Structure 1
Amino acid sequence: MATENNNEQPAVFFDRDGTLMKEVHFCHDPVNVHAIPGMCASLRRLRMQGWLVFVITNQSGIAYGKISLSEYEAVHCELMRQLDYQVDATYFCPAVPGGIERRRKPDIGMVLEATKAFSVDLPHSYFIGDKATDIECGRRAGMTSLLVTTGYGTQHLSCGADKIFEDAVAAIDFILRKSALWDV
């Protein structure tokens, strides 16, 4: 789905933990990975409608020594398997909060990497997450930011999200309904 008069595609950027999968604090074991019910089918619907799908995730557990890089990769591989690999690319930042790392959300470094690697139409794109940092990242990048109440979402209800949804499946349904109006 190219938008307006360019070849750029809209995208949906997702936080990982608490958004695409059930929250497990510093998840280090693939056995604890459980995709949000219905996510695989919803991601497939997005991609069939021409949307790009990205995962943008802070992983400070690596810097804190709570999980190793190989444990992160094993957890991520299991999630991708459960989602039937319906993701175009994943970007992660292992830095701790409060540093000068420009990739760590709410900064938009990882979003800019995706935009550079793919032809992304940011003004028509969305960021979905369960924390204020996700909402702020989307806003800073010029996207519509959607909060989900899975994960830590209920603790961030006043973060200024454009809309709030029960889960990412409901948020995707909203995006697909809204984008159908573009095509009319």
Structure 2
Amino acid sequence: MPDAVLLDRDGTLVHDVPYNGDPALVRPVDGARASLDRLRAEGVRLAVVSNQSGVASGRITREQVDAVNAEVDRLLGPFEAFHVCPHGPDDGCGCRKPAPGMVKQACADLGVDPDRTVVVGDIGADVGAALAAGAHAVLVPTPVTRAEEVAAAPRVAGSLPEAVDAVLRGDW
């Protein structure tokens, strides 16, 4: 069992609503709650790592991001932490996935080794951040996931429940 699973928010835990600042629009993906509860039952620690470039572009506020995260936590939590990168793609920060900063910080805050951590996400940036941080990665493609991202991923699952199945059977 890994010590922790870090999950992307939009497209992985909840249906992606671009630049969502409205908690009423949060809709979990099928099987999310039951899958996360299976990990919790095994003692796996859970946190969210999410790029939110809408903050940098002015489309949403950090307060709106926090309100959406609170709704995700209410519906699917508890999560031990929410790590958010509010920067845009050209800001050059070290936290925006595929940079490893958010994953490394989440591991440090949880007190877990990245090598004992799995990152589950829906695009190549999630996989890239995991691998750059020394963590493991499972890609759960959606219609926006590019074919080359799927081909490059070390592990691919058809859904969040399938990703959790893989983690629980030790395929991470």
TM-score by length of 2: 0.91
Partner of 2:125: 133
Tell me whether 1:41 sits opposite 2:34 in the alignment.
Answer: yes
Q: Counterpart of 2:33 in structure 1: which amino acid?
A: C
Correspondences of 1:7-156 after superposition (within 5 Å): 10-83=3-76, 85-150=77-142, 152-153=144-145
Is the alpha carbon distance of 1:13 and 1:159 closer, same or farther for their aligned partners in structure 2, counting shifts above 3 Å?
Answer: farther
Give the RMSD, CA atoms, in angstroms.
Answer: 1.8
Q: Percent identity?
A: 35
1:153 to partner: Cα distance? 2.8
Aligned residue-pair number: 171
- Segments of structure 1 that go 5 or more residues without pairing to the other structure are 2-8, 180-184
1:151 to partner: Cα distance? 5.9
Correspondences of 1:167-178 after superposition (within 5 Å): 167-178=159-170
Contact 2:101 2:133 in 1 (8 A): no
* Comparing 133-142 and 117-126, the one that deviates more: 117-126
- Segments of structure 2 that go 5 or more residues without pairing to the other structure are none
Q: Deviations over 1:108-153 (max 9, x none)?
A: 1112222222221321321111111101001111122111123633
TM-score by length of 1: 0.85
Contact 2:69 2:82 in 1 (8 A): no
Q: Counterpart of 1:111 in structure 2: which amino acid?
A: V
Contact 2:87 2:96 in 1 (8 A): yes
Is the alpha carbon distance of 1:157 and 1:132 closer, same or farther for their aligned partners in structure 2, counting shifts above 3 Å?
Answer: closer
For residues 151 and 109 of structure 1, the distance between their equivalents in structure 2, rounded to whole angstroms, comes to 27
Is the alpha carbon distance of 1:66 and 1:169 closer, same or farther for their aligned partners in structure 2, counting shifts above 3 Å?
Answer: same
Where do 4+ consecutive residues of structure 1 move more than 2 Å? 150-159
For residues 127 and 137 of structure 1, the distance between their equivalents in structure 2, rounded to whole angstroms, comes to 8
Any idea what SS the aligned residue of 1:20 has?
coil
